[in-house]
Amino acid sequence: MDAPKATTSAPMTAVRVDDGPEDAPGRETTMKAIVQDRYGPPDVLEIRPIDQPTVKDNQVLVKVHATTVNRTDSGLRAAKPFINRFFTGLIRPRVTVLGNEFAGDVEAVGSGVTTFAVGDRVFGYSGLQHGSRFGAHAEYLAIAEDGSLATMPATLTYEQAAASTEGSHYALSLISKAKLRSGQDVLVNGATGAIGSAAVQLLQQLGANVTAVCDTTHIELVKGLGADRVIDYTAQDFTKDTQSYDVVLDAVGKSSFGRTKRLLKPGGIYLSSDLGPLSQNPILALVTPLFGG
């Protein structure tokens, strides 16, 4: 397999892993991977051979054809913010192969797997859940059958499928936590990013009334995603909007609870994809209920 080819497009980099020759029945048990043994800039990454993952009874082995480099990978690689180290290793990274978005073909299945078969085109998300430990920046990835794994739609390329999962995962998680219902009013800040664009579409399907915040050049795009109303942040400060909302979802972490509190209806919810200024959001989540917030 040749080294991965990358093409950059914000907010993430889509990486195509070139197809090599078909594996023979006695294929090797090593694979190429992008590995980091210490925290730091991109220079700490190194392509080198490592052992292929061993597939357990409930796991699927995926031959990765496309993956991404997203802000999660960049943050964990550099251990920024510092709080990341409490989850990934205080001195050195416990997760040495990053990558949580992928698309490829099923290479092998465990004895207990019934949903997938060898040869299936699949895509998924391998964040820290269902026993997953990232690992998509490699030729092969093992993931649980009941993890975030699905058969690819026939119309999608590997690159398109791989780049669709992390933002959708976070957006769905935030929306589920808020227990949103049809007819509620929601403002999405950062509606063109991976999380924000997914949130607009999911909220539209849910039947929420969606106000989306973006710049002038993306207004029509965001309307096409399902936004009922669009605020152009280059012409208007969305925090001064006269409408009130059941939920404000900051999908880029560029605002704060303090700035957006006036937009919330009584009992309204502020959600953010980021820790916020001075990592205040986790603290506010614990404190505000004590004061009836």
Q: Where are the domains of the chain?
A: 5-162, 166-291
- The pTM assigned to this predicted structure is 0.79
Question: What is d(CA 35, CA 56) in angstroms, rounded to the nearest whole number?
Answer: 23
Question: What is d(CA 245, CA 270) in angstroms, rounded to the nearest whole number?
Answer: 10
Give me the percent of the chain exceeding a pLDDT of 70. Answer: 82
Question: What is d(CA 125, CA 150) in angstroms, rounded to the nearest whole number?
Answer: 9
Question: How confident is the model over 217-259, as pLDDT tens digits?
Answer: 999 999 999 999 999 999 999 999 999 999 999 999 888 888 8
**How big is the CA angle at 36 (ends 28 and 196), to the nearest 5 degrees?**
105
Q: What pLDDT does 24 receive?
A: 42
Residue 37 has pLDDT above 50, yes or no: yes
| CB distance 20 to 36 below 8 Å | no
Higher pLDDT among residues 38 and 86, named by residue: 38
pLDDT band at 19 (very low <50, low <70, confident <90, very high): very low
Give the CATH number of domain 166-291; options: 3.40.50.720, 3.40.50.300, 3.30.365.10, 3.40.50.1820. Answer: 3.40.50.720
| CB distance 176 to 198 below 8 Å | no
The phi, psi pair for 204, rounded to 5°, reads -65, -40
Please state which CATH class domain 5-162 belongs to: alpha beta
Of 168, 204, 166, the residue nearest 186 (C-alpha) = 204
Question: What is d(CA 98, CA 39) in angstroms, rounded to the nearest whole number?
Answer: 12
What are the tokens at 255? Answer: 């605002």
Q: What pLDDT does 84 receive?
A: 82
Residue with tokens 């909220």: 203
Which class for 142: exposed (0-12), middle (13-18), buried (19 or more C-beta within 10 A)? buried
Across 116-133, average pLDDT: 86
| CB distance 114 to 52 below 8 Å | no
